Amino acid sequence: MARVTGIGGIFFKAQDPVALRDWYRRHLGIDVLDWGGAAFRWTDANGAPAGGTTIWSVAGSGSDTFAPSASTFMVNYRVDDLQALLAALRADGCQVLDKTDDSEYGKFGWVIDPEGNKVELWQPPPGA
């Protein structure tokens, strides 16, 4: 099962970058390279280049969008099978939020990383 299949781009700080990189590598399957980050190329299920969209948005300072996290950011990761990933994260002992959302924009679920950051997982609708 592919865990994370894409992201437009985001940069953030962590109190323990080595441990946090390892958490993302182990639990979300992100290939963190020696320089401390990962590079995603959008591809289809066969590995061929594919188009896609990444959203960048700024919320008001009073927004509770990232709750229960107190962080000032949230990363949205594209995934291919949200329910399977949420089940795998629960089995790994990760803090997965009970709420999920299924809308015309796709399926959404959330996990809290070891630094207390809310991570949004997004399975696009079929054909998107």
Strands (E), the chain: 75-78, 95-96, 101-103, 106-112, 118-123
Question: What is the predicted pLDDT for the residue at 14?
Answer: 79
Question: What is the predicted pLDDT for the residue at 54?
Answer: 57
Question: What is the predicted pLDDT for the residue at 53?
Answer: 58
Question: What is the predicted pLDDT for the residue at 8?
Answer: 40
pTM: 0.72
Give the span between the Cα atoms of 57 and 64, in whole angstroms: 14
Pairing relationship of beta strands 106-112 and 95-96 according to DSSP bridges? antiparallel
pLDDT in tens, the chain (128 residues): 668 887 644 656 677 888 888 999 899 888 888 878 776 767 788 888 776 655 554 455 666 878 898 888 888 999 999 999 999 999 999 999 999 999 998 999 999 999 999 999 999 888 76
The three-class DSSP label of residue 63 is coil
Question: What is the predicted pLDDT for the residue at 7?
Answer: 64
Query: How remote is the C-alpha of 53 from its chain's centroid?
Result: 15
